[in-house]
Amino acid sequence: MAQTTDAPSPDLFLQSVTGYQRTEAIRAAVELDLFTAVAEGRSDVAALAARCAASPKGIRALCDYLTVAGFLVKNAGGYALTPSTAKFLDRRSPAYMGTTIGFLLSEHVRGGYANLLAAVRKGGTVQSAGGLTDPEHPGWVAFAQAMMPMMAPVAHLAAQLIARPLDAELKVLDIAAGHGLYGIEVGKRFSRASVTGLDWPRVLEVAQENARQAGLGQRYRVIPGDAFQVDLGSGYDVVLVPNFLHHFGFEACVRFLRKVHAALKPDGIAVTIEFVPNEDRVSPPFPANFALSMLALTAEGDAYTFAQLDDMLKQAGFSRNALSPLAPTAQHALVSAK
């Protein structure tokens, strides 16, 4: 019999059951603004402790842990940032992602995972009737405020897929607008586009402020309410459906997409943004793992494959659906012709 060269090891198990330690180390570092302090040139323990208002012992232990984890580099002079840490965790960087802990580590999200065993047994969240899809769930205000650094590159790439003249007078609807970045990016690219954001009223306050700061205040309108219930309007050239379908079951998605189809002009398009796993459902890692998030946080949501998304869009009346990777992000866009 062939012999395996990899000896059995408990490392994966131990790394997994202690994973909360890395989570809390990152949270502590972000809240102390440790990475920015290192970027400013404070490399030794004493200087970092003074800058972060923490004990030298605490800073030394935290920095050593973060070095082992791959966020810092330690040398004779002290600590330095890796290239990825410098880009995403130095508060002065345009790509700073530290704010995302406001949603990703919120009680709403962590609570879903705290009850994962029960969710696996049930087949959906046990937090409440609909989890994050409950009407006016407060988690979406936190999402809109915290997740812009993660969503901005995706929104920019998605806007490039709209193949219309840049001076076209487009009428655009942004479903579950949240922070509003998807519609805002379309509005920035097409100077004559008018954008309507649809979401819960408190969430739309965030989107409206972002639109104002982007210079779109006069071209940005809102529809407050439940996307399944409110009148979407009609005559849209583009309907954006970013990170929405995965919160709901297949049949609910089809019903909703029929509304989207009806709201479009005859030559209109829908642009759907999703985490799309391969048909094996275990690759690529982030989209594949996203299914577990939907199990923990929603009643019927899932990470849908392209075949499933293509099926639901065609059942809703769309004639063809083209899948485009939004590299280097983990998301895909489907551009659907009416």
Query: Does residue 94 have a cis peptide bond before it, meaning omega lies within 30 degrees of 0?
Result: no
Q: Token digits for 105? A: 């580590």
335 three-state secondary structure: strand
At 294, which amino acid appears? M
pLDDT tens string 146-188: 888 889 999 999 999 999 999 999 999 999 999 999 999 999 9
Domain boundary among 80, 96, 112: 96
- Residue 1 confidence (pLDDT): 42
Tell me, yes or no, whether 62 and 88 share the same domain. yes
Q: What's the DSSP call for residue 245?
A: G
Angle ∠(306,312,317) on CA atoms, nearest 5: 125
Nearest to 188 by CA among 163, 220, 222, 145: 220
Handedness of CA 48, 51, 55, 61 (dihedral sign): negative
287 three-state secondary structure: helix
Tell me, yes or no, whether 56 and 159 share the same domain. no
Instruction: Give the rounded distance of the alpha carbon of 266 from its chain centre.
Output: 31
User: Looking at residue 72, which CATH number applies to its domain?
Assistant: 1.10.10.10
Percent of the chain with pLDDT over 70: 99
Measure the CA–CA gap between 240 and 270, rounded to whole angstroms. 6
Tell me, yes or no, whether 47 and 167 share the same domain. no
pLDDT tens string 29-74: 999 999 999 999 999 999 999 999 999 999 999 999 999 999 999 9
Tell me, yes or no, whether 88 and 233 share the same domain. no
User: Is residue 2 assigned to a domain?
Assistant: no
* Structural domain count, the chain: 2
Q: Token digits for 248? A: 């709901």
Q: pTM for the whole thing? A: 0.90
User: Is residue 241 assigned to a domain?
Assistant: yes
User: Looking at residue 236, which CATH number applies to its domain?
Assistant: 3.40.50.150
User: Is residue 1 assigned to a domain?
Assistant: no
pLDDT tens string 290-321: 999 999 999 999 999 999 999 999 999 999 99
Tell me, yes or no, whether 117 and 243 share the same domain. yes
Tell me, yes or no, whether 187 and 125 share the same domain. yes
Instruction: Give the rounded distance of the alpha carbon of 137 from its chain centre.
Output: 17
User: Which segments of the chain does DSSP mark as H helices, in order?
Assistant: 11-17, 19-32, 34-39, 45-52, 56-69, 83-89, 101-104, 107-114, 116-122, 139-146, 148-159, 181-189, 201-213, 250-263, 285-297, 306-315
User: Is residue 6 assigned to a domain?
Assistant: no
Q: Token digits for 301? A: 């949501």
Q: Token digits for 54? A: 């923490």
User: Is residue 321 assigned to a domain?
Assistant: yes
User: Is residue 32 assigned to a domain?
Assistant: yes
Tell me, yes or no, whether 67 and 124 share the same domain. no
Measure the CA–CA gap between 163 and 174, rounded to whole angstroms. 17
- Domain extent for 244: 104-337
Tell me, yes or no, whether 207 and 273 share the same domain. yes
The contacts of residue 312 (CB under 8 Å, 6+ apart) are 245, 250, 253, 254, 257, 304
List the single range of 130-134, 224-228, 293-297, 312-316 with lowest mean pLDDT.
Answer: 130-134
- Residue 230 confidence (pLDDT): 95
User: Is residue 142 assigned to a domain?
Assistant: yes
Domain boundary among 96, 119, 147: 96
The contacts of residue 222 (CB under 8 Å, 6+ apart) are 177, 196, 197, 198, 199, 204, 207, 208
The contacts of residue 325 (CB under 8 Å, 6+ apart) are 332
Angle between helices 285-297 and 107-114 (to 10 degrees): 90
Domain boundary among 96, 121, 147: 96
Measure the CA–CA gap between 97 and 17, rounded to whole angstroms. 25
Tell me, yes or no, whether 244 and 330 share the same domain. yes
pLDDT tens string 246-297: 999 999 999 999 999 999 999 999 999 999 999 999 999 999 999 999 999 9
- Residue 4 confidence (pLDDT): 53
User: Is residue 20 assigned to a domain?
Assistant: yes
Tell me, yes or no, whether 245 and 271 share the same domain. yes
Tell me, yes or no, whether 48 and 190 share the same domain. no
Tell me, yes or no, whether 144 and 80 share the same domain. no
